[in-house]
Amino acid sequence: MNKQNIPKKILHWYDNNKRPLPWRRINTKKQHEYFTLVSEFMLQQTQMKTVIPFFNRFIKKFPNLKSLAIADENRVLKYWEGLGYYSRAKNLKKTATILIKKYHGKLPKDLEELKALPGIGEYTSRSILSIAHNKPYIPLDGNVERILKRVFLLKNKAQISKENLIEKKSFFLNSKRSSDYAQAIMEIGALICRPSLPICNSCPLTTYCKAYKKKDFAIITNNKLKKTKFFEAQVYKRKNKYLLIKNKKFNFLKNLVIFPMNEINEEKYKLSVEKKINIKLSNMNMKIIINENNRRKTIKNGFLLDKSNFNKFILPSFTKKIFNSLPHQK
């Protein structure tokens, strides 16, 4: 079994099967760097299929690094609206500004310099270096982990530890086409070596795969169960307008416009007979009671808003979901 052929097989598969993702449609090196930067920020904790329409909308408004760097932060947040984790947008804007001022609009080629930029950690820095600068890094995302777990048939917690998986990455060797190679491996994980029902007859790695030989495709994960938090939202209506506030209470919703709400315990949630909605975030499940009130209410930092003015504010998706759940808004 000649492992030296692994890069060649993977790249051959990629050249014939890669997806036409919008950040791969590039004309210049500068555009390649910028598209990589934006897409990597958006892909943090967010699925590819979710990111694509947001990326297209964002790039249409901010087509290059300079346009993003000089943009008003609230405008940037508005075009990030619906994607969640708004700190990513703020950090992306800060990074763009630093790149223009300190790096002449270019992405650093040094790992530590990249990691020093706002919002860029170990994984994102390696992704950027491999994809934008053709450096020989293979980022360890969920897709790459899954391939390694199946190739080596890793079945216990010690075997699937991050340290062991990083060591096992040497299986892939290297390629002069480092940018394509890193994307190719992740692409195989996403399209072929899927969590369930892998398409082994199309995989270039079956020759080396212990899971394929034993027909044992189950994956052991270290994923922690998402926390479930319970909230009570108050809906105060005055004519056709609703009382909203600019959140200062919850860090994960900082400065976003929400209905007045408090965190409650599970018992209170279960006992309530009011309308309820569930919101699934990548790191949390939110269970929200909706209390509709017709009495007048004044709250510090509160203001009245109707749907026609929604576009003037940055609204998290669950604020819109609460609004749309109200009977007269359906």
The predicted structure's pLDDT at residue 110: 96
**At residue 328, does pLDDT exceed 70?**
no
Q: What is the pLDDT of residues 82-110, one digit of tens each?
A: 888 888 999 999 999 999 999 999 999 99
Burial letters for 184-197: b for 16+ Cβ neighbours within 10 Å, e otherwise? Answer: bbbbbbbbbbeeee
* Over residues 40-51, mean pLDDT: 93
Enter the CATH code of domain 227-329.
3.90.79.10
Least confident range from 67-76, 181-190, 252-261, 306-315: namely 306-315
Helix (H) or strand (E) holding 307: none
**At residue 325, does pLDDT exceed 70?**
yes
* Over residues 27-38, mean pLDDT: 96
Distance of alpha carbon 272 from alpha carbon 263, whole angstroms: 14
Average pLDDT over the chain, rounded to whole?
Answer: 90
Q: Does residue 139 or residue 306 have the better pLDDT?
A: 139
Confidence band (pLDDT; 50, 70, 90) for 329? Answer: low
**At residue 315, does pLDDT exceed 90?**
no
**At residue 29, does pLDDT exceed 60?**
yes
Q: Is the alpha carbon torsion for 76, 78, 83, 87 positive or negative?
A: positive
The predicted structure's pLDDT at residue 279: 84
3-214: in CATH 3.40.30.10: no
The predicted structure's pLDDT at residue 223: 67
Q: Where are the domains of the chain?
A: 3-214, 227-329
The predicted structure's pLDDT at residue 146: 95
* Over residues 34-58, mean pLDDT: 95
Going by C-beta distance under 8 Å and a sequence separation of 6 or more, which residues neighbour residue 239?
none
Q: What is the pLDDT of residues 191-200, one digit of tens each?
A: 999 999 999 9
**At residue 1, does pLDDT exceed 80?**
no
**At residue 213, does pLDDT exceed 80?**
yes
The predicted structure's pLDDT at residue 238: 81
The predicted structure's pLDDT at residue 83: 87
**At residue 209, does pLDDT exceed 90?**
yes
Active site residues: 40
Least confident range from 33-42, 45-54, 300-309: namely 300-309
Q: Answer yes or no: are the C-beta atoms of 34 and 95 closer than 8 Å.
A: no
Find which of 114-128, 214-228, 235-249, 284-298 is predicted with most confidence, using mean pLDDT.
Answer: 114-128
Task: Compute φ and ψ for 283, nearest 5 degrees.
Answer: -120, 5
* Over residues 160-176, mean pLDDT: 91
Q: Is the fold of 3-214 the same as that of 227-329?
A: no
* Over residues 44-59, mean pLDDT: 94
Q: Strand pairing of 227-238 and 284-293? A: parallel
The predicted structure's pLDDT at residue 330: 45
In the block, tokens 């044992």 appear at 216
Q: What is the pLDDT of residues 252-262, one digit of tens each?
A: 777 788 899 99
